[in-house]
Amino acid sequence: MFILEPLLETFQTGSGFWNPVIWVDAIIVALLIVVVLRGFGNKEYKKKTGQTQAFLSGNPEYEKEQMHIKSSNIYWGFTESLKWVFDSLKKLHTGNISDYSLWFIIVMAILFIVLIMGENLVGAI
Amino acid sequence: MNVADLIDLLLQHSPALIVAIPLLGAFITPLISRLNDKVRNVFVILTLGLTASLVFLLASDVFSGNIHTYIFGSQDLALPVVRILFEVDAMSAFMVIISVILSLIAVIYSWSFMKENTGLDKYYTLILLMTAGMLGMELTGDLFNFFVFLEITSISSAALVAFWTNKAKSVEAGFKYIVISTIGALFILFSIALFYGQYNALNMAMIASAIQYTFLDKIALVLLIAALAMKAGVVPMHMWLPDAYGKAPSSITFILVGATQASLYGVFRVCFTIYGGAINLSSISVGWILVIMGIITMLLGVAMAIIQTDFKRLIAFGAVAEIGYMLLGIGTGLVVMLNPEMTATGLAAMKGGIFHIMNDALDVGLLFLVAGAIYYATKETSLNKLGGLARNMKYTTVFFIIGLLAVSGMPPMNGFASKLLIYESTYHLNPILSIFAILSSIMLLAVFVKVFHSAFLGPALPKFENVKEVPKSMLIAMGAIATIIIIFGLFPELIVNNIVEPAANALINYGDYIREVIPSFTGGA
Amino acid sequence: MIFNIPFIAVAALILIGLYAVIFKRNLIKMVIGITLIESGVNLFLITLGYREGSIAPIYTSSPGGIMALPVPQALTLTSIVIGVAVLALMLSLVIHIYRHYGTLDARKIGGPEE
Amino acid sequence: MSGMSKIVKTISGIAFPFITIYGLYVISHGHLTPGGGFQGGAIVASGCAMVLVSYGSIWIMDRVKEKNLSILESLGAVCFILLALLGLGFGTVFFNNFLVGTNSLFGVVPAVGSGLADINTGGVIPLMNFAVGLKVIAGLFGIVLVMAYAIRTKEGKK
């Protein structure tokens, strides 16, 4: 037994709504518009001519295998400008099991201070 | 005896059978694997399939509003508080569904993925033991029993993380995992002893009804939250998680997602049910602790994910970030729980957090399965060496795109629905929280677009010329998860109303859980 | 005061165990530290169940009088059994680690990962 | 690992039966006195480990196969869970003690009062103790055997 109605209900989030079916419809409409626009395009494309080659500011094109950007180079600017953040984060991950246990004790101590000392302080005030 | 009676009987005994069947199957597996490998694989899949059908039978009844209790070993059901008992409310049922789906699909995936390994009888035995442990953790109503199942889960999963013993890093990750789990579990046992010393009870409902929030209770709360959060991979105690996730076989990583979430379930059960009676004393501070933990977890998780170059380690940091969302949603629910003006916000936040548990298991799990498929096909995990695989592995690419969109919360996937709930409800609590949540979601998208670019796009590399699509069983497993993701994404209302909302209400109305065992308890609306 | 000695022993055992886990480099010593924590927790459970002047809780041969609480003893036993399994697993992993790295120094085997 | 001196071999050969008997006693009286399947099993397994150390792992591994031990271990666990499931089948719930009061196998209800009870009491508890004992003997001995094997291959490499 397949009931369609509950599937099509709109998803209420408390202060708004979200209906993926409408969203999918909108995507399909947008794709249709794209296809129509693409139909207006120029059909003078010729294969195996200079049109297919990449233009790298006049520099010669590299081999295909060397064109692939390695994953550590992606977001290079972002990681380079925030180098101090990532370097300090990397330093945290020592891979040493003793440090892992030490973090557990530290978190336990912080929780202890917040939950026990903190409430006593609030009570005193 | 007709069919309806039989189903009633099965329903009544299902909490025990759900744990007993994988446990029995685990010890029959080594006997059966002497016969034939294929027979053993079929047997394991059938065992988990039977468990899954019992889980769905039980869950369908629990979601309609009944809380099931199962008392072990007594003919008359008198004196429930001194016996070991299982108590299943909607939250437990929700978690059990996730765990059993993960295990079932991991076993189907392993059929081809682990084919070339030896010692597979032990592998399947440990998988079934781990499943039994996870299910037990989520079903039990007894704190000591919770500890026992937690240890069963961690021992078997640590052994599975180190299953590829010829790899130094795998063994090392397994050792780290077992050390961390054992220390955490021992502190949990210590807090259980603190409870037992004060209230003479091990039963969660009994402790919850008697709790006074004394000094010792506060210590127990600190120990429980810290230890369970460590097992769930909360920053800054998450460092074992990328090691273990990254070095385990992919099918095991897939179940490990469920094991960490079972620990997360432990955090919620402790905060809401056991300390529910002390809620007016502790809810604000404990709730804020969870919220802040969640924010730190998601920000640090994505920040570390951006700079990773190992495929599975990167996804593991993504999984750390996802855990932050669950903590944020449910912590928000705990903060506003006593504020009558914000009941709707609290419920929405809880729904978002709980729905995200399931979405995280499916999305991150799918990405791990894809990572395993790529490892199976190319024997390569470093993203710097991969490239152009979309040409050879079409189905895997499609599954990766689905997982990518879902995990970064792009509409119309399921991740978006739960994240939308979390954004909106945390905005009501404090706009800065939702800004952090959206920011880390954007960064997650950036992280996985990077993975997509470096592994699947780009020119065809000569060393991957002969790479073929992975075998059928792995495709079936990935396809099943992808299908569930799309269904959940297209019809979130169906899932939220029927499964998530009862679970959220079960956590909020903790009194019902206690009254099922101690009828005289008053309180907990 | 005399009755507090077991609790002091519990605290000492757990702290020594944590010290060994955090500050010792040798993996075997870390495993020993974990078993020390475990003994501390087990001792805590046992101590909770003891009442002054009580006897072993064997129902049929009781001469009368108060008995020690049997439940914590059952819990301890379960915890010991789990401890054996954990210990065996940890030691076998240590054997494997030693085979791969040729050392048991925690700082040498870990190493930050790219 | 090769064997130790003849004195050690002889003494451990004499002690081994006594240790085994004592372990089996602890297993079978688990429902009456302190002890039970795990404790007795650990005693028997430590006796086996003593023989392993004194006679050397090569000698033992010719006679005992780790595979057979793991089958015994599985059998013990399967028996335990099947007994628990029988409680569901005969009685009312999982882990139900369905044998007690039947006056058949271990089914006698002990007399109330002081004094040790008969061994023929306890229902399924002694049977479960046997299953656990089998599992623990096989499991612990298997662990020791595998570890000895691992050490031997390490020595072989050198």
pLDDT of residue D158: 42
Query: Which residues in chain C have their CB less than 8 angstroms from residue B183's CB?
Result: 21, 34, 37
Q: C38 CA to chain B: closest CA distance, Å?
A: 6
Residue B524 has pLDDT above 80, yes or no: no
pLDDT of residue C111: 62
Contacts of B286 (CB under 8 A, 6+ apart): A115, B221, B225, B271, B275, B334
| Distance from the Cα of residue B393 to its chain's centroid | 29
Contacts of B196 (CB under 8 A, 6+ apart): B202, C45, C48, C71, C72, C75
pLDDT of residue D153: 62
Residue B263 near residue B244, CB atoms below 8 Å: no
Q: Check CB contact under 8 Å for A102 and C22.
A: yes
Domains and CATH numbers, chain C: 2-51+68-107 (1.10.287.3510)
Asked if omega into C57 is within 30° of 0 (cis), the reply is: no
Whether D92 is covered by a domain: the verdict is yes
Is residue D85 within a helix (H) or strand (E), and if so which, with residue range?
helix D66-90
Phi and psi (nearest 5°) for D4? -100, -165
- By the 10 Å C-beta count (0-12 exposed, 13-18 middle, 19+ buried), C104 is classed as middle
Mean pLDDT for the stretch of residues D114-127: 77
Of B244, B235, B242, B363, give the one whose Cα is nearest residue B299.
Answer: B235
Query: Which residues in chain C have their CB less than 8 angstroms from residue A94's CB?
Result: 110, 112
pLDDT of residue C114: 47
Q: A31 CA to chain B: closest CA distance, Å?
A: 15
d(CA B475, CA B108): 10
d(CA D31, CA D129): 8
Report the predicted TM-score, pTM, of the whole model to 2 decimal places: 0.93
Residue labelled with tokens 């009804």: B209
Angle, vertex CA B509, rays to CA B505 and CA B515, nearest 5: 130
d(CA B102, CA D132): 30
Q: B153 CA to chain D: closest CA distance, Å?
A: 17
Contacts of B34 (CB under 8 A, 6+ apart): D71
User: Which of A90, A93, A98 is nearest residue C106 as measured by Cβ atoms?
Assistant: A98
Selected for mutation to probe chain A from C24, C107, C109, C114 (highest A CB count within 10 Å) is C107
Residue A111 has pLDDT above 80, yes or no: yes
The tally of domains found in chain D comes to 1
d(CA B486, CA B489): 5
Asked if omega into B492 is within 30° of 0 (cis), the reply is: no
Q: Does C18 touch chain A (CB under 8 A)?
A: yes
User: C-alpha dihedral over D99, D105, D107, D111, to 10 degrees?
Assistant: -160
Going by the DSSP 8-state scheme, the letter that residue A18 receives in this structure is E
Whether D48 is covered by a domain: the verdict is yes
Over residues A77-87, the pLDDT tens digits come to 888 899 999 99
Q: Check CB contact under 8 Å for C77 and D147.
A: no
Nearest CA in chain B to D79: B24
Q: Check CB contact under 8 Å for C94 and B313.
A: no
Q: B73 CA to chain D: closest CA distance, Å?
A: 4
Q: D22-58 burial, b if ≥16 CB within 10 A, otherwise e?
A: ebbebbbbbbbeebbbbbbbbbbbebbbbbbbbbbbe
Mean pLDDT for the stretch of residues A91-111: 90
Residue type, D78: V
What is the overall mean pLDDT for chain B? 89
Q: Check CB contact under 8 Å for D74 and B17.
A: no
Residues of C with CB under 8 A from a CB of B: 14, 21, 27, 30, 34, 37-38, 41, 44-45, 48, 71-72, 75, 78-79, 82, 85-86, 89-90, 93-94, 96-97, 100-101, 109-110, 113-114
What is the overall mean pLDDT for chain C? 86
Query: Which residues in chain D have their CB less than 8 angstroms from residue C91's CB?
Result: 147
Query: Which residues in chain D have their CB less than 8 angstroms from residue C84's CB?
Result: 42, 140
* Three-class DSSP category at C6: helix
Touching A (3+ Cβ pairs <8 A), the chains are B, C
Query: Which residues in chain C have their CB less than 8 angstroms from residue A105's CB?
Result: 18, 22
Whether D144 is covered by a domain: the verdict is yes
Residue B81 has pLDDT above 70, yes or no: no
Whether D55 is covered by a domain: the verdict is yes
Residue C93 has pLDDT above 60, yes or no: yes
Q: Check CB contact under 8 Å for B304 and A114.
A: no
Whether D30 is covered by a domain: the verdict is yes
Over residues B285-328, the pLDDT tens digits come to 788 889 999 999 999 999 999 988 899 999 999 999 999 999 99
Q: Does C94 touch chain A (CB under 8 A)?
A: no
The encoded tokens of residue B162 equal 């180190």
Beta bridge partners of residue A56, listed in sequence order: A59
Residue B273 has pLDDT above 80, yes or no: yes
Q: Lowest-pLDDT range, A79-93, B217-231, D100-114?
A: D100-114
Of A108, B225, B267, give the one whose Cα is nearest residue C18.
Answer: A108
Q: Check CB contact under 8 Å for C60 and D143.
A: no
How would residue A1 be classed by pLDDT, with cut points 50, 70 and 90? Answer: very low
pLDDT of residue B383: 87
Residue B77 has pLDDT above 70, yes or no: no
**Percent of chain B residues past pLDDT 90, beyond the cut:** 55
Q: B198 CA to chain D: closest CA distance, Å?
A: 26
Of B47, B51, B17, give the one whose Cα is nearest residue B32.
Answer: B47
pLDDT of residue B514: 86
Radius of gyration of chain A (CA): 29
Q: Check CB contact under 8 Å for B27 and D91.
A: no
How would residue C35 be classed by pLDDT, with cut points 50, 70 and 90? Answer: very high
Nearest CA in chain B to A90: B304
How would residue A18 be classed by pLDDT, with cut points 50, 70 and 90? Answer: confident
Residue labelled with tokens 């500890």: B147
d(CA B172, CA B162): 8
Residue B281 has pLDDT above 80, yes or no: no
What is the overall mean pLDDT for chain D? 84
Residue B113 near residue B474, CB atoms below 8 Å: yes
Nearest CA in chain C to B310: C114
d(CA B215, CA B192): 15
Contact flag for D and C (3+ C-beta pairs < 8 Å): yes
The encoded tokens of residue A101 equal 């246990």
Q: Lowest-pLDDT range, B38-52, B504-518, D37-51?
A: B504-518
Going by the DSSP 8-state scheme, the letter that residue A69 receives in this structure is P
Residue type, B241: L
Selected for mutation to probe chain A from C21, C29, C113 (highest A CB count within 10 Å) is C21
Whether D1 is covered by a domain: the verdict is no
Kindly report the number of other CB atoms within 10 A of residue D121's CB atom: 18
Residue A13 near residue B420, CB atoms below 8 Å: yes
Touching C (3+ Cβ pairs <8 A), the chains are A, B, D
Contacts of D20 (CB under 8 A, 6+ apart): D44, D47
